[in-house]
Structure 1
Amino acid sequence: MNEMLSRAADRTVNVVRGIRDDQLALPTPCSEYDVRALLGHLSWVALMFEALARKEPLPPEDSEPDALEGRVRGMVEAWSHQEAFEGESPMMGLPMTVVFQMGLGDLVFHGWDLARATGQDYEVDSETAEAMAVYVEQMAPMARQNGVFGEEVAVPADAPPLDRALGLTGRDPAWKA
């Protein structure tokens, strides 16, 4: 599973490196964030999921976009240890395997958001796309109820797995800036 996280981290970091300063105020498919705010959010998310993997207390919220790449690498490293997947999260009360999927989803979906907003490509390997489709299908009702996912965007039944997952999170796979 950590290979998927490592690949998603590499993809997302490559997108982040490709963002120009003049793109920071652009809208994203994640409508409550522009590019700058989404970079900050993702930076905080990576720091949070690193702490969750280590079963440490959550650090104070810090949405520092310049720290994003290092935090993503820290997240990947923390999840590279088998004990990260064991038991339940003391903070979330969920199995650690589900917490891992949440973190992977944040990297994949927000990486896709940032790529779309800035006109970059974001290709996801088939293993990760399938894993995200299964995860989102299972979590969508609870995530929608908790305000984490938006209302489902209809996609064709034969759409690729990532498009199906995006639609279930409330994202339009055809979104363009």
Structure 2
Amino acid sequence: MFDLTPVTDELARVVRQVREEDLGAPTPCQEWSVADLLTHIHQFAAVFTANARKEPGHPPADLAAHWREEIPAQLAAMASAWREPAAWEGRVEAGGIEMPAADNALVALEETTVHGWDLARATGQSFAVAPEALDRLPGFFAFFGDAPFGPAVPVPADAPPFDRVLGQTGRDPAWA
């Protein structure tokens, strides 16, 4: 078990500071605007919350009208749900892939951390990654492979650990 709260709190902080004029801006996620990315964040937070609770998920289809309140609340619910020992037991499905619940928590960590960086970068904000999250992210790549989202972006061997993670996800850590 590990606690998702540090990364969900950091992403919630970033979400609350997104400006209306940022919604149409591009993101490091090719083909997604900031509004698309916010919708995806809300969706995955709902799915991972439902998975932790072993309930059917009902992710929102569009960006919620009150997204600055709803997305942070959903992220907090996700972190809370994964603090329950039962969340880590059994098997769940995410993105059409069935997996052990503990691996699903690792996917939740990766999605929250990497898309947190995406959103922060696209909106000119910082994104602090807790050391315990960085320590766990290599487990995601052990489960899903070295470049689960397409070709990796080469980064120097002496790059900071999070830059190496971003490169493995196909992101350029210098994206602006």
Please report the TM-score for the alignment, with normalisation by the length of structure 1. Answer: 0.88
Deviation at 1:90, TM superposition (A): 5.8
- For residues 2-151 of structure 1, the aligned pairs below 5 Å read 2-3=2-3, 5-59=4-58, 61-65=60-64, 66=67, 67-89=70-92, 92-141=97-146, 144=148, 149-151=149-151
User: SS state of the match for residue 124, structure 1?
Assistant: coil
User: SS state of the match for residue 89, structure 1?
Assistant: strand
Q: Which runs of 5+ in 2 are unaligned?
A: none
Partners of 1:168 and 1:10 lie apart in 2 by: 24
- Distance change >3 Å, CA 19–CA 60, structure 1 → 2: closer
User: SS state of the match for residue 91, structure 2?
Assistant: coil
Q: Name segments (4+ residues, structure 1) moved above 6 Å.
A: none
CA RMSD in angstroms, aligned pairs only: 1.8
Aligned: 1:166 with 2:166: yes
Q: Which runs of 5+ in 1 are unaligned?
A: none
**Per residue, is there more strand in 1 or in 2?**
2
Q: 2:44·2:59 contact (CA, 8 Å) conserved in 1?
A: no
Q: 1:133·1:161 contact (CA, 8 Å) conserved in 2?
A: no
- Distance change >3 Å, CA 15–CA 61, structure 1 → 2: closer
One-letter amino acid matched to 1:56: E
Partners of 1:157 and 1:134 lie apart in 2 by: 19
Q: 2:92·2:100 contact (CA, 8 Å) conserved in 1?
A: yes
Deviation at 1:61, TM superposition (A): 4.6
**Per residue, is there more helix in 1 or in 2?**
1
Aligned residues: 170
User: SS state of the match for residue 137, structure 2?
Assistant: helix
User: SS state of the match for residue 162, structure 1?
Assistant: helix
